[in-house]
């Protein structure tokens, strides 16, 4: 019923527009073509100025109403993000000035130079100086902006400092998998054909496989694998080694002003330094439910909207405590075999002690 009503409204709107157009034609015939066109031209010139004024008021009102809801309302939560904010503000200022000047000139010229029988149009086909100015100036400006952007891009994707955390981030439909190196500080090898969604979501090579010509990699035995939430440290650089398990994803970190594609078979990297812990951001924003978010910034399927992860920024002490509680994925897949024999050995020892005590008692009775 609602669909029928919507279609009926659309048809009615078109009919109204058509009738207004026909009525305008009849008025033109009655008044005379030239007179009607002159009146319409003057009216359109007035509308140009009205639209300019209302448009500028609308831009100001929208900015005042919605700016506090944007990320620019608060500073970036990473040191590298400060560079991104700086680039964005410079770009906004340059393009904003150009926008206002050109739009004001456009509507003002349309009003000032509307058709006038007392004024003859001046034929102005070409001017080399003006062509040179509006070609060279934008080209130089854009080149400077691109150079600044490339310089920052190479900085974000360069080798991270020596004290940086290294965390592997893998996108999948529709979630995130994180891997931390163990005590050896090395990531073990992995192979996509041994992926098991339940026990080995990254395909770590835990044992020999003659069919795939794989040999057990001891470096995987202490790797820690978690999903959806990644822990990083305030004021300590962290490098993300980014992969995808299926299709192209994109690691988006809006609060840190960072993002990087996750491409199957082609690892990418970026690094940043968090400035505020999650607890501090809850206080700064006045939002007790605040979370640093990892969003997928690349359309990746019908569950794309739900592909959200969480970055938990903590102090070094909190991170060390959290890491100490984590269990390597290898131990979850292959529990230590020594636990059961040790448990079974205890009753055996108790039995031996009982037998010994019983023998001693019997000896005492014999003596008596």
pLDDT at residue 118 in the model: 81
Across residues 89-113, what is the average pLDDT? 92
Tokens 């090579």 found at: 205
Give residue 19's pLDDT band: very low, low, confident or very high (50, 70, 90).
confident
Integer angstrom CA distances of residue 60 from 55, 90, 93:
9, 19, 15
What is the number of other CB atoms lying within 10 angstroms of the CB of residue 347?
9
Task: Give the integer Cα–Cα distance in Å for 148 and 142.
Answer: 10
Q: What is the DSSP letter of 202?
A: T
Task: Give the integer Cα–Cα distance in Å for 219 and 188.
Answer: 4
More confident residue, 202 or 362: 202
* Strand residue runs (E) in the chain: 165-172, 175-180, 224-227, 229-233, 238-244, 249-253, 258-262, 268-272, 292-296, 308-314
pLDDT at residue 32 in the model: 62
**Could you report the per-residue pLDDT of 134-183, keeping only the tens digit for each?**
899 999 999 999 999 999 999 999 999 999 999 999 999 999 999 999 88
What is the fold of 165-333?
Answer: Immunoglobulin-like (2.60.40)
- Mean residue pLDDT across the chain: 86
Look at residue 165 and give its three-state secondary structure. Answer: strand
**pLDDT(289) > 50:** yes
- Work out the percent of the chain whose per-residue pLDDT is above 70: 87
Q: What are phi and psi of 342, to 5 degrees?
A: -65, -40
Question: Exposed (0-12), middle (13-18) or buried (19+): which is 329, by Cβ within 10 Å?
Answer: buried
More confident residue, 119 or 224: 224
**Could you report the per-residue pLDDT of 319-344, keeping only the tens digit for each?**
999 999 999 999 988 888 654 444 44
**pLDDT(196) > 80:** yes
Give residue 366's pLDDT band: very low, low, confident or very high (50, 70, 90).
very low
pLDDT at residue 361 in the model: 41
Integer angstrom CA distances of residue 32 from 28, 74, 98, 161:
5, 60, 42, 79
Which bin fits 22, alpha (ψ -120 to 50), beta or left (φ > 0)?
Answer: alpha
More confident residue, 35 or 214: 214
**Could you report the per-residue pLDDT of 152-166, keeping only the tens digit for each?**
999 999 999 999 999
pLDDT at residue 310 in the model: 97
Domain boundaries, the chain: 32-114+127-156, 165-333
pLDDT at residue 352 in the model: 46
Give residue 8's pLDDT band: very low, low, confident or very high (50, 70, 90).
confident
Lowest-pLDDT range, 6-15, 17-26, 191-200, 356-365?
A: 356-365
Give residue 30's pLDDT band: very low, low, confident or very high (50, 70, 90).
low
**Could you report the per-residue pLDDT of 233-258, keeping only the tens digit for each?**
999 999 999 999 999 999 999 999 99
């Amino acid at each position: 019923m609602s669909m029928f009503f919507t279609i009926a409204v659309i048809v009615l709107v078109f009919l109204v527009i058509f009738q207004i157009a026909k009525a305008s034609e009849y008025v033109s015939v009655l008044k005379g073509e030239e007179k009607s066109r002159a009146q319409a031209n003057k009216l359109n010139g007035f509308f140009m100025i009205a639209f300019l004024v209302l448009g500028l008021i609308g831009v100001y009102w929208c900015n005042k109403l919605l700016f506090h809801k944007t990320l620019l309302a608060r500073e970036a939560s990473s040191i590298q993000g400060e560079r991104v904010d700086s680039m964005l503000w410079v770009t906004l200022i340059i393009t904003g000035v150009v926008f206002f000047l050109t739009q004001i000139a456009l509507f003002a010229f349309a009003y000032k130079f509307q058709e006038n029988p007392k004024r003859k149009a001046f034929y102005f086909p070409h001017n080399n100086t003006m062509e040179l100015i509006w070609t060279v100036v934008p080209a130089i400006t854009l080149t400077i902006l691109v150079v600044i952007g490339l310089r920052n891009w190479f900085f974000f994707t360069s080798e991270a400092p020596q004290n940086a955390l290294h965390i592997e981030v893998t996108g999948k439909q529709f979630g995130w998998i994180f891997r931390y190196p163990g005590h050896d500080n090395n990531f073990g090898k992995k192979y996509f054909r041994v992926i098991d969604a339940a026990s080995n979501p990254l395909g770590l090579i835990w044992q020999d496989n003659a069919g795939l010509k794989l040999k057990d990699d001891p470096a995987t035995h202490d790797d820690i694998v978690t999903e959806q939430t990644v822990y990083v440290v305030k004021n300590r650089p962290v490098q993300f080694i980014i992969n995808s398990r299926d299709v192209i994803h994109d690691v988006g970190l809006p609060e840190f002003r960072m993002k990087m594609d996750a491409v199957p078979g082609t690892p990418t990297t970026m690094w940043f330094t968090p400035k505020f812990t999650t607890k501090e951001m809850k206080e700064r924003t006045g939002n007790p439910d605040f979370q640093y978010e990892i969003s997928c910034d690349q359309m990746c399927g019908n569950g794309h909207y739900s592909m959200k992860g969480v970055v938990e920024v903590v102090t070094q002490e909190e991170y060390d405590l959290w890491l100490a509680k984590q269990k390597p994925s290898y131990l979850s897949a292959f529990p230590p075999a020594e636990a059961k024999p040790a448990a079974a050995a205890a009753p055996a020892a108790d039995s031996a002690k009982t037998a010994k005590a019983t023998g001693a008692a019997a000896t005492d009775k014999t003596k008596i």
